[in-house]
Structure 1
Amino acid sequence: MTDSFTAIPTALALLCLIAALLPAVLAAVNLSVLRRPAPQDDPDLVSILIPARNEAGNIAETVRAALASTGVPVEVIVGDDHSTDATPEIVRAIGDPRLRLVSVPTLPEGWTGKNHACSHMAGSAAGRHLLFIDADVRLVPEAASCLAAQARRTGAALVSGVPRQRTETVGEMLTVPMIDFLLLGYLPVLLMRRLRDPSLGAACGQLILIDRAAYEATGGHGAIRMSLHDGVRLPRLFRAAGYRTELVAAATLATCRMYEGFAQAWAGFSKNAHEGMATPRALPVWTLLLGCGQVLPPLLVLAGLCGLIPTPALVAAALALLLALATRTAITLAVRAPLATIPLHPVAVLVALAIQWNVLLRRERAGAATWKGRSYPVSGA
């Protein structure tokens, strides 16, 4: 047996073990500190704002769930963004005095659709708190009260969390669960709470509660008007302005089925990838971290069982694989994701990296992102 046969695979397996240890430690800490906030009665009005563009299949359940909020007074505003289906008629038929349907003006140049709709709705809202939710998010009755209470307890101007993600096809299970894995496995929540560094800001665009005064002071969605990734840009905007942002465990506060099938999920995650991982500097680092920590370990274990790598490398790779699967299991249980996502995890990571690399390489060729029938230039393309 040559030295290189032993040294190189063993070094690679040890690198995998180190790369798997990082998210394991961070996830353990994050899962211990992220909690579902307790609800608290509050007389202050919460404005629940729902941008809707061709959401006839979702909007009725979403609006009714929002109107069922308890613990705080609410108004619900639906921004109809030039829907060509029955979305506005469905909203009007609900007939609750706390519900308003507003027509979003024609999209101006230099805005993305969701930011424009949210900014327009915010201008019509009366609440002290603005709770922005996507049209496929179903709130539990105490969700608005819980989020408003957390903002009051912590002094945060922005409170967010990831709803429980409903995944009903294998294609969705191969894509959507990466939201929770990346957030819980790679964001140092304790540092985020201690420091105001904008780079530590994180939120989920499906569920964001914002203090109205802070929203107006920062410019809100108008300040990120060309962004397709409000979950990244809004908390960074607020933190840069000196405000505190907060994350909570939201799997029991709301549910969401954000995509239906693999093709829709691929397109959806592709549209804002260039504002996250898919940059020339960030993506090689993410590829090293995720590839070594989550994708390579099962391949090395298989190679070891076939006698292609030495025993020390097999042992290190097996430990890395156990860490990776244990991390995925802990996150899966915490966010109430399907158990089937656990054995799919290495493939899901590989799919996530494929989406990011496809976006990065495509940006060099195209320079535009398309969503909901609209095309937007990609910044930096």
Structure 2
Amino acid sequence: MSVIILIAGLSLILALLPLLLGGVNLLLYRRPKAAPPSGAAVSILIPARNEESGIAAAVDAALLSKGVEVEVVVLDDHSTDRTAEIVRAIAARDPRVRLEGAPPLPPGWSGKQHACQTLATLARHPVLLFQDADVRLAPDAARLTCGALLSGRHGLVSGFPRQETGTLAEALVIPLIHVLLLGYLPMLGMRLSGDPRFGAACGQLIAVRREAYQEAGGHAAISASLHDGVTLPRAFRRAGQGTDLFDASGLARCRMYRGWREVWSGFTKNATEGMATPAALPVWTLLLFGGHVLPWILLGWAALDPLPDGAVVMAGLAAAAGLLFRLLLLIRFRQSVVGALLHPVGILIMLAIQWSALLRARHGRPSEWRGRAYPTGPGAS
């Protein structure tokens, strides 16, 4: 058997893996339906640093919550714009809103984790719902998230909001969050096992029971992290607290980055806590390049120089499997059509970001976000 047929066969296997696993996960990954107990109360906690353009919309959306009692606590994390002024004006007309100021950032902490830890100490209710300032909750979001948390034995639940995209760079890269989550995380294993390696969340929207949060060490357990979507659920699992994921695309929306610069910087900042490690990134490169890019390279090669029929068939099936998976995600999560059709390009950009982050860390160059620099690499803490 020729080498090219073996390569095409490998590409087909790597393309079928996310399609098959993703098909199962799409059945398991659902919007929550359970109602919380009568009298349930939720503290909606929003860390905010220079968020004047969107903080009013975030707070106003949270205040429209129905079905549960809510308070909205915004922590102004040393903003240099009008963030505090805007929230203060909302608090003056609605007593459910509180504006608090962040203490100085201690050494060894990332800004978001310190802000969330501070917010947890300020919250008055037993359910803590942490949301990013660029998230817009639907009126049912707090109620159903609270229901998902309190109806089971989980200490933490998290939902992935609908990811809005406005530029080509966003459309190419941001939908890959769902490709990675649903195509490669065995969700059934996550629910049957307490292994920390199965821990996953979306840092944009995380709800916790206060007592479970305290037992897990809260955000202090991940004080230096820039990737709470990975590190916080793992901290909960290490403490014996269950975690789960749900589809929040109908409960919240978020435009996480705007334009090429923010996409690159945003995904770079926490890459070394996820894919971009020396052990993991070669494996991810094989999975993503081999399953999503290589089939199209083989088909392009075949158009220029005839390949064995078996290789062409397998490459065609692999390309179709990858495209089918993206179309399923496009329909389910209302993703960009252009981004789905240019899926291999998005994969190449994502891999470039990850390799760039790994090389940056190896050279000891800090990650930068929101005007702060954080150490990376082997000596980071």
TM range, smaller chain: over 0.9
Please state how far the C-alpha of 1:305 moved relative to its aligned partner. 2.4
Q: What is the CA–CA distance in structure 2 between the aligned matches of 1:78 and 1:281, rounded to whole Å?
A: 39
**What is the identity, as a one-letter code, of the residue corresponding to 1:13?**
A
Say if 2:368 is the partner of 1:370.
yes
For 1:38, the equivalent position in structure 2 comes to 33
Quick one: distance in 2 between partners of 1:277 and 1:87? 33
In structure 2, what is the equivalent of residue 356 of structure 1? 354
1:145 corresponds in structure 2 to 143
Distance in 1 (alpha carbons) for counterparts of 2:362 and 2:157: 35
SS at structure 1 position matched to 2:240: coil
SS of equivalent residue, structure 2 residue 68: coil
CA distance in 1, matches of 2:377, 2:104: 22
Give the corresponding residue for 1:262: 260
Report the Cα distance in structure 2 between the residues aligned to 1:178 and 1:124, rounded to whole angstroms.
35
Residue matched to 1:3: none
SS in 2 for 1:163: strand
Q: Find the aligned partners of 1:245 and 1:335 in 2 and give their Cα distance.
A: 23
Cα distance in 1, alignment partners of residues 377 and 77 from structure 2? 24
Pairwise CA distance, 1:367 = 3.7
**Matched ranges for 1:162-177 at <5 A:** 162-177=160-175
Partner of 1:12: 7
> 1:272-303, CA deviations, whole angstroms, 9 ceiling, x for partnerless residues?
00000000000000000001100111111111
Number of paired residues? Answer: 376
Structure 2 Cα separation of the partners of residues 7 and 375 of structure 1:
50
Check whether the contact 1:46–1:128 (CA below 8 A) recurs between aligned residues: yes
Q: Indicate conservation of the 8 Å contact 1:251/1:336, yes or no.
A: no
Which residue in 2 is equivalent to 1:47? 43
TM-align CA RMSD = 1.1
Amino acid at match of 1:89: E
Who is 2:104 aligned against? 106
Helix, strand or coil for the counterpart of 1:249? strand
Q: CA deviation at 1:379?
A: 4.7
- Of the three residues 61, 67, 70, the one matched with 1:65 is 61
Note the alpha carbon deviations across 1:193-225, whole angstroms, 9 max, x for none. 000000000000000001111111111101100
How far apart are 1:154 and its partner, in Å?
Answer: 2.1
Deviation at 1:39, TM superposition (A): 5.3
- The residue type paired with residue 253 of structure 1 is L
CA distance 1:254–1:131, shift in 2 (3 Å) = same
TM-score normalized with structure 2 length: 0.97
For residues 123-272 of structure 1, the aligned pairs below 5 Å read 123-272=121-270
- Tell whether the 8 Å contact from 1:39 to 1:142 is kept in structure 2 after alignment: no
Note if 1:83 corresponds to 2:67.
no
Tell me which residue corresponds to 2:299: 301
Compare 281-290 and 210-219 and name the one that shifted more.
Answer: 210-219
Between stretches 332-341 and 367-376, larger displacement belongs to 332-341
Structure 1: 5+ residue runs without aligned partners?
1-5
Q: TM-score, normalised by structure 1?
A: 0.97
Q: Distance in 2 between matches of 1:300 and 1:202?
A: 34
SS of the aligned residue for 2:244 comes to strand
Give me the whole-angstrom Cα distance separating, in 1, the residues matched to 2:48 and 2:306: 55
Matched to 2:9, the amino acid is L
SS state at 1:168 partner: coil
Q: Is the CA contact 1:203–1:247 (under 8 Å) kept in the aligned structure 2?
A: yes
In the alignment, is the contact (CA less than 8 A) between 2:367 and 2:375 conserved in 1? Answer: yes
Cα distance in 1, alignment partners of residues 310 and 48 from structure 2: 56
Of stretches 85-94 and 326-335 in structure 1, the one that deviates more from structure 2 is 326-335
The Cα offsets for residues 164-188 of structure 1, whole Å up to 9 and x where unpaired, read as 0110000111211111110011000
Q: What's the secondary structure of 2:341's corresponding residue?
A: coil
User: Quick one: distance in 1 between partners of 2:351 and 2:72?
Assistant: 38
SS of match in other structure, 2:249: coil
> For the Cα contact (< 8 Å) 1:133–1:207, is it kept in 2?
yes
Mark the CA change 1:272 to 1:371 in structure 2 (over 3 Å): closer, same or farther. Answer: same
Partners of 1:378 and 1:361 lie apart in 2 by 10
Supply the distance in 1 between the matched residues of 2:116 and 2:275 (Cα, whole angstroms).
25
One-letter amino acid of the counterpart of residue 247, structure 1:
L
Tell whether the 8 Å contact from 2:135 to 2:254 is kept in structure 1 after alignment. Answer: yes
Aligned twin of 1:310: 308
Report the secondary structure of 2:253's partner residue. strand
Residue aligning to 1:29: 24
> Mean alpha-carbon deviation: is it higher for 331-340 or for 267-276?
331-340
State the Cα distance separating 1:345 from its structure 2 match.
Answer: 0.7
> Quick one: distance in 1 between partners of 2:159 and 2:377?
27
Tell me the alpha carbon deviations over residues 100-150 of structure 1, each in whole angstroms, 9 at most, x when there is no partner.
000001111111000011111110001111000000000000001111111
Residues in 2 aligned to 1:219 and 1:240: alpha-carbon distance in whole angstroms:
10
Question: Stretches of 4+ moved more than 6 A in 1?
Answer: none
Quick one: distance in 2 between partners of 1:251 and 1:301? 35
